[in-house]
Structure 1
Amino acid sequence: MFRIEILSHLVNGECKLEEYLLKHPPTKINPEKAKPDLDGAKSHFHQVIKAGSKNQYYKDALLLLSKLHFALGETEEMLKLHEKVKLDEMSLQDLPCTKLKLVAEGYAIRGMVMEKQLASGKTGKDKVTEDEVIAMYEKAGDLAMYHLQEADRIRYGSSGMVMTFSSAGPHSSHLAGPVLETAVQRAPLLHIQQGNLNKGINRFRQILKAVEVRTTQNIRTTIARELSEVLLRAVCQRAYSPPTLESREEKPETSHRRSSSLGGSLTSLRTSSSKGSLKPKMYTTESLFVPTTVDEEALLLLLLSEVQVNRDVVFNRTSEHASSREHAYLHATAVYDLLAIALSRRAQYQLLSEALDRTMKFSFQEFHMWQQFGLSLMSAGKYSRALIVFQECAQLEPENTDVLMHAAKICLQHLHKVDKGIIFARQVVDLKPSNCFLMARAYLLLGIAYGMKSTEASLHQERQTFQKESLKYFKLASSKDTNDYLIHFHTALQLANSRQIPEALQSIHNSLTLNPDYSPSYHLLTLLLSAQKHYSEALTTIQVACKEFPQDFGLQFTKVTVEEICKGPEEALMTCKVLLELWKEQESAIPSLETTIGHDPDRVASEKRSIVHMGLSEYIDRPDTGSVHNSVAASKVEQALSEVASSSSYLIKSGSPQVNRIQGQIWLMTAELFLSLNKPEDAKNCVSEAALMTPLSHRLLYVRGLIHETLGNCMEAKNCYDSALAINPSHIKSLQNLGKLQMELGHLEMAERVLRTAVSKDPTAHQAWLTLGKVLEAQGEFENASNCLMTGLELEATSPILPFTTIPRIIT
Structure 2
Amino acid sequence: MISEVLVTRDVVLSRSEDLSVSRIQSVRNAKSVYNLLTLILSSLRQYQLLSTIYERAMKFVNQDSYLWEQLALSLLCRGRWTRAARVLEQAVSTTSSNDGSSSCAEHSSAIELMMLSQLYIERFSQYDSALTHAEKALAICGKDGQQAFLMTRCQLLQAIAMGQRAQQRTSWEQKRSELVKTLRLMEDVVAADAHDYLALYYAALYHAISRDLEAARERCARSLELNSEQPAAIMLLALVFTAHGDLKGALELVVNALKDFPNNYGLLVLRLHIETKFGRVEESLDTCSHLLDFWKRRDNSFSFVVLNDEDRNQTNLNASDGTTLLREGSTKTGTPSLGRDMTPVTPLISSAQLMGFTAPVLNTTSTTASAIDLSVIESGVAPSEVGGTSTASDSGASCGGINEVWSKFKAQADIWMSLAELYLAEGKQAEVGRCVEQAVNLFPHSPQAMYLKGRLLNCRAEKIEDELVASKLRSEAKAAYLSALALCPAHVPTMSHLAKLYAHDGNLKMSEHLYRELVRLEPLCCEWWQQLGCSLMRLGKADQATECLTAASQLDRTTPLLPFSVIPLVFPTSF
Per-residue deviation at 1:635? 4.5
Change (3 A) 1:701 1:428: same
3-state SS of the aligned residue for 2:535?
helix
Match of 2:54 in 1: 356
Q: Deviations over 1:272-297 (max 9, x none)?
A: xxxxxxxxxxxxxxxxxxxxxxxxxx
Q: What pairs with 1:74-473 in structure 2 (closer than 5 Å)?
A: 302=1, 304-398=2-96, 399=106, 400-431=109-140, 432=142, 433-435=145-147, 437-473=149-185
State how far apart, in whole Å, the 2-side matches of 1:437 and 1:549 are.
Answer: 33
1:781-800 alignment runs, 5 A limit: 781-800=541-560
* Partner Cα separation in structure 1 for residue 27 and residue 67 of structure 2: 10
Aligned mates of 2:511, 2:233 — CA distance in 1: 38
Structure 2 residue aligned with 1:709:
458
- What's 1:262 paired with? none
Deviates more, 1:452-461 or 1:765-774: 765-774
Quick check: 1:699–1:724 contact (8 Å CA) kept in 2?
yes
Q: Does residue 733 in structure 1 map to residue 493 in structure 2?
A: yes
Q: 2:258 aligns with which of 540, 543, 546?
A: 546
Contact 2:330–2:569 under 8 Å retained in 1 = no
**Structure 1 residue 572, shift from structure 2 partner:** 1.1
Is 392-401 or 451-460 further displaced after alignment?
392-401
User: Greater CA deviation, 577-586 or 690-699?
Assistant: 577-586
1:504 partner letter: A
Q: Distance between the aligned counterparts of 2:496 and 2:19, measured in 1?
A: 70
Quick one: which amino acid aligns to residue 454 of structure 2? G
Instruction: Show the counterpart of 2:464.
Output: none
Measured in 2, the distance between the counterparts of 1:738 and 1:756 equals 13
- Aligned ranges 1:49-68 → 2 under 5 Å: none
Match of 1:95 in 2: none
Mapped to 2, the partners of 1:453 and 1:462 lie a distance apart of: 10
Is it true that 1:478 corresponds to 2:237 in the alignment?
Answer: no
**Residue of structure 2 in register with 1:167 after alignment:** none
| Cα distance in 2 between the residues matched to 1:741 and 1:632 | 35
1:779 partnered with 2:539: yes
1:811 aligns with 2:535: no
1:77 maps to none
Q: 2:241 aligns with which of 515, 529, 533?
A: 529
For the 8 Å contact 2:7–2:30, the answer to whether it is kept is: yes
Residue 626 of structure 1 pairs with residue 389 of structure 2: yes
User: Measured at CA, do residues 634 and 428 of structure 1 come closer, stay the same or move farther in structure 2, by a change above 3 Å?
Assistant: closer
Higher RCO (Cα < 8 Å, 6 or more apart):
2
- Separation of aligned partners in 1, 2:450 and 2:327: 27
Q: Does 1:669 align with 2:413?
A: no
Percent identity of the aligned residues?
A: 29
CA contact (8 A) 2:169 2:391 kept: no
Question: 2:449 aligned to 688, 700, 718, which one?
Answer: 700
2-side partners of 1:465 and 1:578: how far apart? 42
Shift of 1:685: 0.9
Q: Which letter maps to 1:596?
A: L
Q: Distance in 1 between matches of 2:455 and 2:149?
A: 49
- The total of aligned residue pairs comes to 488
Q: Give the letter for the 2:169 counterpart.
A: A
What's the CA shift for 1:779?
A: 1.9
1:522 offset after TM fit, Å? 0.9
- Which residue, 284, 289, 299 being the options, matches 1:577? 289
Separation in 2 of the partners of 1:657 and 1:520?
Answer: 23
| Structure 1 partner of 2:367 | none
**TM-score when scaled to structure 1?**
0.57
Per-residue CA deviation, residues 27-62 of structure 1 (Å, 9 max, x unaligned), is xxxxxxxxxxxxxxxxxxxxxxxxxxxxxxxxxxxx
In the TM superposition, residue 360 of structure 1 has moved relative to its aligned partner by 1.4
CA distance in 1, matches of 2:398, 2:92: 29
Matched position secondary structure for 1:445: helix
Distance between the aligned counterparts of 2:78 and 2:453, measured in 1? 36
- Any gaps of 5 or more consecutive residues in structure 2? 97-105, 317-325, 333-376, 462-472
Per-residue deviation, 1:557: 1.0
After superposition, the CA RMSD in angstroms is: 2.8
Superposed counterparts of 1:630-669, under 5 Å: 635-636=400-401, 656-669=405-418
Contact 1:554 1:619 in 2 (8 A): no
Deviations 1:446-502 (A, max 9, x none): 111111121111222211110111111111111222212111111111111111111
- Whole-angstrom CA distance in 2 between matches of 1:593 and 1:479: 48
Amino acid across the alignment from 1:792: A
Q: Deviations over 1:682-713 (max 9, x none)?
A: 11111111122111122222222222222223
426, 430, 440: which is aligned to 1:681? Answer: 430
Q: Does 1:513 align with 2:211?
A: no
Q: Is the alpha carbon distance of 1:464 and 1:592 closer, same or farther for their aligned partners in structure 2, counting shifts above 3 Å?
A: farther
Note the C-alpha offset of 1:602: 4.0
Q: Does the Cα contact within 8 Å between 1:448 and 1:809 map onto a contact in 2?
A: no
Q: Distance in 1 between matches of 2:315 and 2:129?
A: 23
Q: Which runs of 4+ in 1 moved over 6 A?
A: 616-619, 630-634
1:312: Cα distance to partner? Answer: 3.2
Instruction: Note if contact 2:116-2:130 (Cα within 8 Å) is conserved in structure 1.
Output: yes
> Does the Cα contact within 8 Å between 2:120 and 2:129 map onto a contact in 1?
yes
Unaligned runs of at least 5 residues, structure 1: 1-301, 606-610, 641-654
- Report Cα offsets for 1:200-230 as digits up to 9, x if no partner: xxxxxxxxxxxxxxxxxxxxxxxxxxxxxxx
Q: Secondary structure of 1:802's partner?
A: coil
2-structure distance, mates of 1:334, 1:723:
58
Cα distance in 2 for residues equivalent to 1:378 and 1:548: 30
Paired residue secondary structure (2:432):
helix
Given that 1:489 and 1:508 are in contact with CA atoms closer than 8 Å, whether structure 2 keeps it comes out as: yes
CA displacement 1:568-622 (0-9 Å, x = unmatched): 2232112212332333233324x568321126434599xxxxx997558997189
| Partner SS for 1:809 | coil
Which structure has the bigger radius of gyration?
1
